[in-house]
Amino acid sequence: MSTATIGKKIPDLELTITGDKTIRLTDFLGKPVVLYFYPKASTPGCTQEGLDFKESIAKFRRQSAVILGASRDKIKAQENFKAKQGFPFELISDPEEALCKAFDVIKMKNMYGKQVLGIERSTFLIDSDGILRQEWRKVKVKGHVDEVLEAVKALKKS
């Protein structure tokens, strides 16, 4: 399987999203896509990141951008997370880690003094032609959404 690389077309995988639908990232050709990965639904940092995207959704939509959140959580956990927080965008369920591996976001992390494999909070900006244009890794939640929005605006201008 190919790995997402800046300047190249993204891998075209079949994905399960909230609303019990199946999509491919190529379904969004013609619009920029913000794909953000978070470690676990309904945890404090992941909730705040989702709420930050929710708060700025109108600004992203003015740029015709689509926002998709992704984690290894099963679809039921994603559905509950989306409903509880009122997210106006879809969440991807990736328990088999196909999407996570394609974007190389599974990393060794320290969890309560133990080494565990988990999602490294990351965001990817895909242009309207399906080309990966920018990536943010080891994301700190505070201020991140504003930075991504600026990158979307810059992409629209270029």
**Is 46 among the residues known to form the active site?**
yes
Give pLDDT < 70 ranges for the chain.
1-2
Is the residue at 5 inside a domain?
Answer: no
Residue count (the chain)? 158
Q: What is the pLDDT of residue 16?
A: 96
Q: Are the beta carbons of 15 and 49 closer than 8 angstroms?
A: no
Domain that holds residue 104: 14-157
Is the residue at 7 inside a domain?
Answer: no
Q: What is the pLDDT of residue 1?
A: 54
Comparing CA positions, the residue from 111, 106, 137 lying closest to residue 123 is 137
Task: Say which of 34, 35, 41, 46 is annotated catalytic.
Answer: 46
Q: What is the pLDDT of residue 67?
A: 98
Tally the domains of the chain. 1
